[in-house]
Chain A
Amino acid sequence: MNKRIFLLLPLLAFVAVGVFFYSALFSDPRELESALVGKPVPDFQLPDLLNPQQQTDVSSFGEGPYLLNVWATWCPTCRAEHEFLNTLAAQGVKIVGLNYKDEPTKARRWLAQLGDPYVLNVLDYEGTFAIDLGVYGAPETFIVDRQGVIQYRHVGDVNVRVWQEKLADLYRQAGE
């Protein structure tokens, strides 16, 4: 009897996983619907990356609209994205950073070397704020409007194409 159960176990496990695969096929992970869209940015208490003695919370982000960008030095895509963030910042787009499960020294060196497009960077070493935001991985970018409400969530890198096709309009609307 026990042997029968052992023999069936792999099949049952596979079927269970397969059902998830089936449902996942029809939900595009690039358009992860954040449960937080339409809700204010959750509050947090975390240190400032560049000045760890300084505690920051949601009010430190200041007035919207802004982009909340999740990044880390261990993430190759973030590096690809960084140059474009610099360009955006130079054009006057306000970007705040969430440094996600990263080594602070490496992160600071990164900003020193590659340029710092962020008005503020929150150091989320444990990933607690990221969990509240429902972050799937790095990079991710949230568009937050003037009232501090999350309007959109973008998974993957922000590049010229994505910006021009989608995010630029959303960012402008968030400012209205």
Chain B
Amino acid sequence: MIAEWGHIAQILALIVGVLLAIIPMVGSYRGWLNWMQMARPLAQLQFLLVSIAFVALCYAFVQDDFTLSYVAQNSNSKLPWYYKVSAVWGAHEGSLLLWILMLCGWQAAVSVFSRALPLVAIARVVAVMGMISVGFLAFIQFTSNPFETLLPFYPVDGRDLNPLLQDVGLIMHPPMLYMGYVGFAVAFAFAIAALLSGQLDAAWARWSRPWTLAAWISLTIGIALGSWWAYYELGWGGWWFWDPVENASFMPWLAGTALIHSLAVCEKRGVFKLWTVLLALSAFSLSLLGTFLVRSGVLVSVHAFASDPSRGLFILAFLFLVIGGSLTLFAWKGAAIRSRGQYDLMSRETLLLGNNLLLVTATLVVLVGTIWPLIHKEIGWGTISVGPPFFNLIFSILIVPFVFVLGIGPLARWRRQPMAQLRQKILFALGLSISAGLVLNGVFGDVEHFHAALGVVMGLWVLICTIQEILANQRGNDSLMTALGKLSRSHWGMVFGHLGFAISIIGIALTSTYTTETDVRMQPGDTQPLAGYTVRFDRVGPLQGPNYRGTGGDFSVWDGDKHVAQLHAEKRQYLASGSVMTEAAIDAGLFRDLFVALGEPLGGDAWAVRLHYKPFVRWIWLGALVMSFGGALSICDRRYRLARRRQQSQLKAQEVAG
């Protein structure tokens, strides 16, 4: 019964979406106030309806309502309740509903928190988002409805959630990722509204920035969670595979990173307007493209969900409408937009443009690498594969100039930067980072490991340049603390964003170089050296879980006589699906992870055991968290709130006067 209500709410949400896409937009062109004013209530109503549908689906999962085909295929009565909830977005239909919920959530948030915006702008922004929601709601309703029933013949129990997805990390990963994907819809809608009105000014950039940052933060955390999950759950010890699904999330992140920087230039200096609009359109278009690639099955991926050509055709048509439409608008209206600011060749503007170009190049590399096999085959050249070696090579080349410019950018002034003033700082940072990097790398590993040394040097370079930049803010008689206190939150946001990036770079370089992996045959009682530690296989025993059984192995890790950690690795067989999963045991630390996984049984009590030593692997995700923290600081910057308050008082004044 509840499920039927959910279905009705979903249909109503589609209808409200159609109204939302039409009424405020028409109103904004005709100048009809009451039509434009419909934008806010309609957006909030749509969010309410989608929430009801989503909650109803969650309820169906928790109550084991196997009359719904989607529930029967992705849940099981023996599943713990929290996995039942996360199973809602464990497959195609439900994850789309989650996507729509996020979209309507962002839409409702825009309608609530953008009181300062002119009514015409808010009407258009929300209407554009409403159009996107119509596309997705129609998609879910007509091709992938989670509320489809199996009545009258429904199964007694469900087929169970894919065991790979029965994991705590995966509860949060898709929602964060989707928050990010869909969040770029706000920047997209702002860009479309600006193109429609022809008003691309500093105010537009200032309105877009906090929303874009919020989306970027979610995407950063989402990607980091996904990478962390792959690391411990795939039992494989890798943290990035250049899989099409991962690439699909990485492309909008790269474009989004370029976008938040170019929005900053646009707001402060009034230049790069067209470029910024194009990035705003691209970030969301790439999110949609990623959805298409993952959902349509045009690319074979390790973790692709069900693929179906009719779904693919629908998404492709939608893609043509949204991306094609917005780029047509860009080509048509773009010519009227003029950037007024002036800047020299050597200036912060140029450096930011340089980094933007590198980020866009990286995005294109990922895009081309992901779809190249497909294009190659369609041309009739036969099939080829683009694997991790290609991406790793290109990225290790692109990262060097990128990091170099990232260090100098904040040191340089807007408009014009005499080279002579910068030279000393650059040489100092370069000298210090190279020498300290080589020494540190020498202490930790071997000096001759070029990639590790390069990574540490790049991390230190960013760190030293950032410190120099902070110190340069000390002026006059202010003490250092006063000077630091005067820095705005968005300034600190930049600092943490860059430091987080440095931390991730160091982590990636050191993990990639110094990881040791051994696969050994072990019996209970056996010991095995691992990077200075001794790992002992204590015992092995049978395992009984709620919806699986299997084998558990206990290991103790010793540093000489000192007991370091007790590890419990599992090999699980899930009852409903029969799939076998490896649950690795990890002793996590800031400077190293010890990773133990059970491989295959080798007869008797002996097992193939995988032992990994992964130095600095946590830094990869720690860096992502620090970056997100920086983003959060920037959102909290006072000027966004001040702008709002000022506008509000103006509005009040107008009301009084009127």
Bound together, the chains give a CA A22 to CA B373 distance in angstroms of: 15
Interface status of B334 (Cβ within 8 A of chain A):
yes
Q: How far is the CB of B337 from the nearest CB of chain A, in Å?
A: 10
Bound together, the chains give a CA A134 to CA B324 distance in angstroms of: 33
Q: How far is the CB of A144 from the nearest CB of chain B, in Å?
A: 18
Bound together, the chains give a CA A22 to CA B296 distance in angstroms of: 11
Bound together, the chains give a CA A110 to CA B520 distance in angstroms of: 10
Query: Quick one: which of A4, A34, A76, A101 contacts B387, CB cutoff 8 A?
Result: A101
Residue of A nearest to B303 (CB): A76
- Cβ A7 vs Cβ B384 within 8 A: no
Interface status of A131 (Cβ within 8 A of chain B):
yes
Query: Quick one: which of B241, B335, B387, B521 contacts A7, CB cutoff 8 A?
Result: B335
Contacts of B155 in A (CB 8 A): none
- Cβ B298 vs Cβ A24 within 8 A: yes
Interface status of A90 (Cβ within 8 A of chain B):
no
Bound together, the chains give a CA A136 to CA B389 distance in angstroms of: 15
Q: Which residues in chain A, 1-58, are within 8 Å of chain B measured between CB atoms?
A: 3-4, 6-8, 10-11, 14-15, 17-18, 20-30, 32, 34-35
Contacts of A18 in B (CB 8 A): 316, 319-320, 323-324
- Cβ A77 vs Cβ B302 within 8 A: yes
Q: Which residues in chain B, 292-343, are within 8 Å of chain A measured between CB atoms?
A: 292, 296-300, 302, 309, 312-313, 316, 319-320, 323-324, 327-328, 330-331, 334-335
Contacts of A110 in B (CB 8 A): 519
- Cβ A24 vs Cβ B327 within 8 A: no
- Cβ B298 vs Cβ A21 within 8 A: yes
Query: Quick one: which of A25, A127, A137 contacts B313, CB cutoff 8 A?
Result: A25
Interface status of B278 (Cβ within 8 A of chain A):
yes
Q: How far is the CB of B553 from the nearest CB of chain A, in Å?
A: 16
Bound together, the chains give a CA A35 to CA B377 distance in angstroms of: 11
Residue of B nearest to A160 (CB): B578
Q: How far is the CB of A88 from the nearest CB of chain B, in Å?
A: 16
Interface status of B236 (Cβ within 8 A of chain A):
yes
Our count of residue pairs bridging A and B at CB distance below 8 angstroms stands at: 116
- Cβ B327 vs Cβ A29 within 8 A: no
Contacts of A135 in B (CB 8 A): 383, 385
Query: Quick one: which of B281, B335, B384 contacts A4, CB cutoff 8 A?
Result: B335
Q: How far is the CB of B56 from the nearest CB of chain A, in Å?
A: 32
Interface status of B382 (Cβ within 8 A of chain A):
yes
Contacts of A112 in B (CB 8 A): 519
Interface status of B576 (Cβ within 8 A of chain A):
no
Which of B278, B327, B328 counts the most A-chain CB atoms under 10 A from its CB? B327
Given known A-B contacts A113-B599, A136-B384, A25 and B389 have beta carbons under 8 A apart: no
Interface status of A156 (Cβ within 8 A of chain B):
yes
Bound together, the chains give a CA A121 to CA B371 distance in angstroms of: 30
Bound together, the chains give a CA A113 to CA B285 distance in angstroms of: 45
Interface status of B436 (Cβ within 8 A of chain A):
no
B-side interface size class:
35 or more
- Cβ B313 vs Cβ A11 within 8 A: no
Chain A count of residues within 8 A CB distance of the other chain: 47
Q: How far is the CB of B232 from the nearest CB of chain A, in Å?
A: 14
Contacts of A30 in B (CB 8 A): 300
Contacts of B297 in A (CB 8 A): 28-29
- Cβ B309 vs Cβ A137 within 8 A: no
Q: How far is the CB of A98 from the nearest CB of chain B, in Å?
A: 13
Contacts of A136 in B (CB 8 A): 300, 373, 377, 383-385
Specify the main secondary structure of chain B where it touches its partner: helix
Residue of A nearest to B386 (CB): A137
- Cβ B378 vs Cβ A24 within 8 A: yes
Query: Quick one: which of B313, B373, B519 contacts A113, CB cutoff 8 A?
Result: B519
Interface status of B346 (Cβ within 8 A of chain A):
no
- Cβ B373 vs Cβ A14 within 8 A: no
Q: How far is the CB of B107 from the nearest CB of chain A, in Å?
A: 25
Which of A76, A77, A109 counts the most B-chain CB atoms under 10 A from its CB? A76
Given known A-B contacts A25-B313, A113-B521, A114-B599, A76 and B384 have beta carbons under 8 A apart: no
Bound together, the chains give a CA A148 to CA B426 distance in angstroms of: 63
Interface status of B375 (Cβ within 8 A of chain A):
yes
Bound together, the chains give a CA A3 to CA B384 distance in angstroms of: 36
Interface status of B234 (Cβ within 8 A of chain A):
yes
- Cβ A32 vs Cβ B302 within 8 A: no
Contacts of B344 in A (CB 8 A): none
Query: Quick one: which of A10, A17, A29, A34 contacts B299, CB cutoff 8 A?
Result: A29
Q: How far is the CB of A112 from the nearest CB of chain B, in Å?
A: 8
Residue of A nearest to B368 (CB): A17
Bound together, the chains give a CA A32 to CA B234 distance in angstroms of: 27
Q: How far is the CB of B528 from the nearest CB of chain A, in Å?
A: 13
Bound together, the chains give a CA A137 to CA B327 distance in angstroms of: 33
- Cβ B375 vs Cβ A32 within 8 A: no
Q: Which residues in chain B, 454-502, are within 8 Å of chain A measured between CB atoms?
A: none
Residue of A nearest to B379 (CB): A20
**A56-94 vs B, Cβ < 8 Å mask (1 yes, 0 no):** 000000000000000000101101000100000000000
Bound together, the chains give a CA A155 to CA B300 distance in angstroms of: 9
- Cβ B383 vs Cβ A8 within 8 A: no
Interface status of B374 (Cβ within 8 A of chain A):
yes
- Cβ B608 vs Cβ A114 within 8 A: yes
- Cβ B600 vs Cβ A114 within 8 A: yes
Contacts of B374 in A (CB 8 A): 20-21, 24, 29
Q: How far is the CB of B443 from the nearest CB of chain A, in Å?
A: 27
- Cβ A11 vs Cβ B324 within 8 A: yes
Residue of A nearest to B388 (CB): A74
Residue of A nearest to B275 (CB): A6
Contacts of A21 in B (CB 8 A): 292, 296, 298, 316, 319, 374
Given known A-B contacts A25-B309, A26-B309, A83-B600, A134 and B316 have beta carbons under 8 A apart: no
Residue of B nearest to A82 (CB): B600
- Cβ A20 vs Cβ B378 within 8 A: yes
**B354-397 vs A, Cβ < 8 Å mask (1 yes, 0 no):** 00000000000000000101110110001111011100000000
- Cβ A14 vs Cβ B312 within 8 A: no
Residue of A nearest to B387 (CB): A101
Bound together, the chains give a CA A83 to CA B600 distance in angstroms of: 9
Query: Quick one: which of A15, A101, A115 contacts B324, CB cutoff 8 A?
Result: A15
**B587-602 vs A, Cβ < 8 Å mask (1 yes, 0 no):** 0000000000001100
- Cβ B383 vs Cβ A101 within 8 A: no
Given contacts A7-B274, A27-B377, 14 further A-B contacts (CB under 8 A): A4-B335, A7-B331, A8-B331, A20-B371, A21-B296, A24-B374, A25-B316, A29-B374, A112-B519, A113-B519, A134-B384, A136-B377, A136-B384, A156-B300
Please list 19 pairs of residues, one from A and one from B, whose beta carbons are closer than 8 Å in the complex, sorted by A's number.
A7-B334, A10-B278, A14-B324, A15-B324, A21-B292, A21-B374, A25-B296, A25-B298, A25-B312, A76-B302, A109-B519, A110-B519, A113-B599, A114-B600, A114-B608, A134-B382, A135-B383, A136-B377, A137-B385
